[in-house]
Amino acid sequence: MKLTFLGTGAADWDINAYVPGAFHRRFSSALINDDLLIDPGPHIFHFCEQNGTPDLLDGVRNIIVTHSHGDHFTPETVARLCVGKDCTVWADPACKRKLIRVLGEEIAEKINFVETRRNRDYEIGGYKVTSLRSNHATEDPDEDTRLYLIEENGRILYYGCDSSWIPTVSWNVIREKPVNAMVLELTCGETATYDWRIFEHNTPEMLEIMLTMFRKYNLFAPDVKYYVSHLARTLHTDHEGLVKYLEPMNVTPAYDGLTIEI
- Which is closer to Zn ion, CB of 27 or CB of 220? 27
φ, ψ for residue 201, nearest 5 deg: -140, 165
- Which is closer to Zn ion, CB of 42 or CB of 204? 42
- Which is closer to Zn ion, CB of 162 or CB of 256? 162
- Which is closer to Zn ion, CB of 71 or CB of 152? 71
Instruction: Check residue 66 and report its DSSP letter.
Output: S
Q: Give min distance, CB of 154 to Zn ion, in A.
A: 30
Q: Give min distance, CB of 72 to Zn ion, in A.
A: 6
- Which is closer to Zn ion, CB of 1 or CB of 7? 7
- Which is closer to Zn ion, CB of 136 or CB of 242? 136
129 and 120 Cβ atoms separated by less than 8 Å: no
- How far is Cα 162 from Cα 72, in angstroms, rounded to an integer? 9
Q: Give min distance, CB of 231 to Zn ion, in A.
A: 10
Residue nearest to Zn ion (CB): 69
- How far is Cα 73 from Cα 70, in angstroms, rounded to an integer? 5
Q: Give min distance, CB of 44 to Zn ion, in A.
A: 14
Nearest residue to 118 via CA among 153, 84, 149: 149
Q: Give min distance, CB of 11 to Zn ion, in A.
A: 5
> Per-residue b/e over 72-108, b at no fewer than 16 CB within 10 Å?
bbbbebbbebbeeeebbbbbbebbbebbbeebeeebb
- Which is closer to Zn ion, CB of 41 or CB of 204? 41
Binding site for Zn ion (CB under 5 A): 69, 71, 162
Strands 251-253, 88-91: pairing is unpaired
Rg (CA), the chain: 17
Cα pseudo-dihedral 193, 196, 199, 205, rounded to 10: 10
Q: Give min distance, CB of 219 to Zn ion, in A.
A: 26
Q: Give min distance, CB of 208 to Zn ion, in A.
A: 22
- How far is Cα 118 from Cα 145, in angstroms, rounded to an integer? 8
